[in-house]
A and B are shown apart, each in its own frame.
Chain A
Amino acid sequence: MNSSADRMRRALIWAWTAAVIVFMYLPALGLVLASSTSSRYFIFPITKWGFDWWQKTFASLEIHQLFRTSLLIAACVTVIAVVIALFGALAFARYDWKGRSIYQKIVLLPIFFPQSVLGLALLLWFNALGFTMSWQTAVFAHLVWIIPVCTLVISIQVYSFDPALEEAAFDLGATKWQVFREVTLPVLFPGIFSGALFAFLLSWGNFPLSLYTTGADTTLPEYLYAKMIAGYTPGVPVLGTVSTLGAAVLLLLGYFIIVVLRRRRSAGSDEAA
């Protein structure tokens, strides 16, 4: 192989990817710039830099309430999704059973479904059952989409799980609960953790499902959407920047925790050997 042509190709792939990343982050740049002006309207280049709108936005009680609702929904979704998805993932990837192949495809169906239509379908269904829409129905709606995603994320970890570990523990006289707590759970922890991170962030940022199922309660993405449609408010770029930065911090923190866990585990197994 011609190595200079090869280097050229690698450079091209790097450049292409860099361009795509810039494309992905340009809108975030727009939000950050628009949030750091003191004027009522966004005119670029910015003449009056400042964080006045940050202060005004965070002083608002309405915004506090929005954050509380969004957090409450995301927290409930995370806890319920992780528990159900952990078992779902064991059935997905750990056990060999009749019907598994069909089961795997059933689990994927809600992911392969337009979310806005799913939101409306749930609205219809809740209505037929006589429920009033509130943050609780929104939790349920988020779960329909997030449990399958979470199951997939955890499954990827379960695929690399060696069932012999569990059998060894049973042979040594451990009870079912002990095996689950001392062997299965710790080994799968990085996957469970990523699953929880996904569940939380996807629920936090979800719009199409929340739109139809929150009723009188409002989440942050819904509020932003309403403000966007109504005309320009500098609070929108401020909150947009906050959600982007918040997600970035959580994601990096989560990644860091998983790296540390992996390091510690591989160090532990070296000592044992």
Chain B
Amino acid sequence: MSVLAQIFRPGMRHALPILVFLLGGFAAPLLAVIAFSFVPSRTFSLWSDWSFDNYVEIFNSSSYITFVWSLGLAAATVAILAVICYPVAFGLTRVFGRYATLITLLFTLPLFVSENVRLYGWILIFIKNGVLLGTLKSLFGWEPESIVFTHGLTLMGMVYVYLPFMLFPTTLGVSMVPQQTRDAAFDLGASRWQVFREIDLPLAMPGIVIGFLLTFVLAVGAIAEAKVLGGQQIIPITHDIEIAFTYAQNWPLGAALSVLLMLVVGTLVLIVLRRFDLDAILGRR
């Protein structure tokens, strides 16, 4: 009876559809991946002898290189985006006034175009005889080497794709800093730098950290940037996983790699999300 009473409370009742859906659509697939990571290599059935062989195989292979690439690229992406996005977020909250909505829309739009299409646009800009090099050639007769298919361009592609995911949480964070607090600090003689370091940054931190987390997690799972812009110069971990699932037809190995990636991502997400009061960030109550 008490369980039924719990379920039929309005909050739980409204939460039920989404929870049931996520149980079948998110929790169950992840459990299936975990289970698959223990079955023998190149089998497609769950009901065989379970062992740690796939993990042993991974630790004896060079997969750690792709792991390091993925984590390193993601960390670099986060660091660059933090610097790019903070001034824009500050502008959206305090400088742009009635233009802020329009500018937000401009940053939202790219999210709705498939990322591989947008990355392909960069190829057209940077390729030999493309928009940039073609212009340089016809105007100045200068023909520099194309930077397509390099490490640097891969990183730029990641910065480009994940920019909105850093910008929006940062903007939420910056808008949580009360203007009165800043004014009071200025009135008491604080310098710009002091206000930034002791008021703006700490009070905006919840949003900024959520931006860090979201960008990092998505960037660790990035695959299109290395394929489209990097020309396979960099092999990210997601590529290894994809190969295991597709060409190699070795699902258990792919599953084991996914489990390791999920462990990294999951630990980070749980540590960070646990500490946050989402009502305060989203609802400003």
A residues contacting B by CB (< 8 A) are: 1, 10, 12-14, 16-17, 20-21, 23-31, 33-34, 42-45, 84-85, 87-88, 90-101, 103-118, 120-125, 127-128, 140-141, 143-144, 147-148, 151-152, 155-156, 159-160, 201-202, 204-208, 212, 220-221, 224-225, 228-229, 236-237, 239-240, 243-244, 247-248, 250-252, 255
Binary A-proximity of B7-31 (CB < 8 A = 1, otherwise 0): 0011111111111011001101110
Whether B228 pairs with A13 at a CB distance below 8 angstroms is: no
CA A247 – CA B110 in complex, angstroms? 9
Whether B242 pairs with A147 at a CB distance below 8 angstroms is: no
Asked if B108 is at the interface of the complex by the 8 Å CB criterion, the answer is yes
Q: Quick check: which of B49-57, B111-119, B200-208 contacts chain A, the rest being far away?
A: B111-119
Whether B11 pairs with A95 at a CB distance below 8 angstroms is: yes
Whether B95 pairs with A91 at a CB distance below 8 angstroms is: no
- Categorize the interface residue count of chain B: 35 or more
B residues contacting A by CB (< 8 A) are: 6, 9-19, 21-22, 25-26, 28-30, 32-33, 36, 44, 46, 84, 87-88, 90-91, 95-96, 101, 103, 105-125, 129-131, 133-135, 138, 160, 163, 186, 213-214, 217-218, 220-224, 227-228, 238, 241-242, 245, 251, 254-255, 258, 261-262, 265, 269, 273-274, 277-279, 282-285
Whether A247 pairs with B113 at a CB distance below 8 angstroms is: yes
Shortest Cβ distance from A34 into B: residue: B124
Partner of B113 from A16, A128, A155, A243 at Cβ < 8 Å? A243
Whether A128 pairs with B114 at a CB distance below 8 angstroms is: no
CA A111 – CA B169 in complex, angstroms? 13
CA A107 – CA B107 in complex, angstroms? 24
B203 to chain A, nearest CB (A): 19
CA A269 – CA B9 in complex, angstroms? 33
Whether B238 pairs with A159 at a CB distance below 8 angstroms is: no
Whether B28 pairs with A29 at a CB distance below 8 angstroms is: no
